[in-house]
A = this chain, B = another copy of it.
Amino acid sequence: MKYQVIFHIDEEPKWGLLLGNVENLLKASGDELPVIEVLANGEAVLEYKLREADSMKAGRIEALHRQGVTFAACQNAMKANGLTKEMLMGFVDTVPAGVLELVERQSLGYAYIKP
């Protein structure tokens, strides 16, 4: 069975931990790669910002995206943090309400992990 996982992050300082978690999950999964989505809300959406993004972490996010990981941002959190879609790395998906995304994915059988 192909696993499905949604990672939830709402605090900026947790990005390092979260990226390590996702990298380890991919490494441990062998051929049968799980479906992985990272959903950021709260202040954590700031990490997706194009220009000011920490270059090390932005590079790791991009590498994971190239391996098939979906990165999503909550539009409520973007608004609260003064961000528009154009200000984010181009591959980041936006969803109207991050919290609804977390509920919908779990209802589809995704495991929930909050680093």
Q: Do the beta carbons of A107 and B24 come within 8 Å of each other? A: no
Taking a contact as CB atoms closer than 8 A, the residue among B10, B25, B115 that contacts A103 in the complex is: B25
Q: CB of A66 within 8 A of chain B?
A: no
* Nearest B residue to A110, CB-CB: B106
When all copies of this chain in the complex are counted, the total is 3
Q: Do the beta carbons of B107 and A3 come within 8 Å of each other? A: yes
Residues of B within 8 A of A87 (CB): none
Residues of B within 8 A of A41 (CB): 21
Q: Which residues of A, 14-72, contact B by the 8 Å Cβ criterion?
A: 17, 20-22, 24-25, 27-29, 34, 41-42
Task: Give the total of A residues in contact with B, Cβ under 8 Å.
Answer: 35
Q: How far is the CA of A55 from the CA of B103 in the complex (A)?
A: 29
Taking a contact as CB atoms closer than 8 A, the residue among B1, B42, B98, B113 that contacts A99 in the complex is: B113
Taking A10-B17, A28-B97, A112-B112 as given, write out 20 further A-B residue pairs in contact, using a Cβ cutoff of 8 Å, ordered by the A residue number: A1-B107, A3-B107, A8-B113, A10-B115, A20-B42, A21-B41, A22-B99, A24-B74, A24-B76, A24-B98, A24-B99, A25-B99, A25-B100, A28-B96, A28-B99, A42-B115, A103-B111, A106-B111, A106-B112, A107-B111
